[in-house]
Amino acid sequence: MASPLSLMMPVLPGTTLSSLLSTLTAAQPSIDKALATIGTVHYARFLLLDRSSPNLLPNLADENSPSETLIISVITNYDGDFDKYIFDFVAQLGGVFDALLAHVIGGDQLIPVANNVQAFLAFILANDASQQLPNKGSGYEAYPQTVQQILAAFT
């Protein structure tokens, strides 16, 4: 059974959308490689949201303007234990999380995540919308297989 993670990280006031996009674009090859290596993630994506927009979509026309209302979201479904999942990410993508957390409210206290794993775990748990009411327990899962079982069936 896969577990959800919907991490919502409020961005530091004054951050521009373009700086977030630049950080994520530079990190994408490392992220893709790490996800394949870790082998427990069904899917993962980053969403950049803007609390000031009615549909939460950031305005690309304002991408170079400082914002007070941006959010970085990490949405995944993964197999196995939460702590192991996060430890795997710290081992594979600690530098990427360090770069992202430099833009996040309270993130400076977690950098480098490799030296602050327990605090990083606590931060994720506190900001995981999937594990907070009213969202906890909601959702649908189409299949019970793990990532490795699915890959083995199709390779």
Digit-coded pLDDT (tens) for 51-83: 999 999 999 999 999 999 999 999 999 999 999
- Mean pLDDT computed over every residue of the chain: 94
Instruction: Count the neighbouring beta carbons within 10 Å of the beta carbon of residue 98.
Output: 17
For the stretch 19-51, pLDDT in tens is: 999 999 999 999 999 999 999 999 999 999 999
Average pLDDT score over residue span 104-124: 96
Instruction: Count the neighbouring beta carbons within 10 Å of the beta carbon of residue 44.
Output: 17
Say yes or no to pLDDT of 1 above 80.
Answer: no
For the stretch 128-148, pLDDT in tens is: 999 888 988 888 889 999 999
CA neighbor of 106 nearest in space, from 136, 88, 127: 127
Contact 1, 67 (CB under 8 A): no
Average pLDDT score over residue span 102-131: 96
Q: What is the pTM of this model?
A: 0.91
Average pLDDT score over residue span 79-104: 94
Tokens 């994408």, residue?
28
Pick the CATH number of 3-135 from 3.30.70, 3.40.50, 1.10.3210, 3.90.700: 3.30.70
pLDDT band for 4, please (50, 70, 90 cuts).
very high
CA neighbor of 7 nearest in space, from 49, 35, 66, 37: 49
Average pLDDT score over residue span 105-116: 96
Domain extents in the chain: 3-135
Tokens 């490799």, residue?
114
Q: Which helix (H) or strand (E) holds 121?
A: helix 117-127
Helices (H), ranges, 4-116: 17-38, 82-101
Average pLDDT score over residue span 102-115: 97
**pLDDT attached to residue 93:** 92
C-alpha to C-alpha distance for 81 and 3, rounded to whole angstroms:
9
